[in-house]
Amino acid sequence: MKGKDIFTEDEANEIRQLLVEKMASSTKDQQKIRKILRKRLEFHIRDFTNKNGFTVDDFNELVQSGIITIV
């Protein structure tokens, strides 16, 4: 795992917001958003899935399943 799997509520909300923005963005902007997720929030989508199109629902499922912890 390159990133972390424990986030504060504020971090989780920021991840959710960025995932929403990513889905509505151009490819170039998606790259910028993924960089923010990795560098600032230490959230690496590939730590949790190999599928394309990772969404807020996917993130929330990881939280509900206990794979990601919100403190």
The answer as to whether 1 is a domain residue is no
Mean pLDDT computed over 51-64:
95
Which of 46, 50, 60 is closest to 12 using CA atoms? 60
Higher-scoring residue by pLDDT: 61, 51: 61
Task: Note down the domain range covering 61.
Answer: 6-70
| CA distance linking residue 42 with residue 28, whole number of Å | 20
Q: What is the pTM of this model?
A: 0.93
Q: Is 22 helix (H, G, I), strand (E, B) or coil?
A: helix
Q: Are 45 and 10 in contact (CB under 8 A)?
A: no
pLDDT for residue 52 = 86
Number of domains in the chain: 1
Distance CA 4, CA 48 (A): 10
> For residue range 1-40, what is the model confidence (pLDDT) as tens digits?
899 999 999 999 999 999 999 999 999 999 999 999 999 9
Structure tokens at 31: 């790259």
Residue 25 covered by a domain: yes
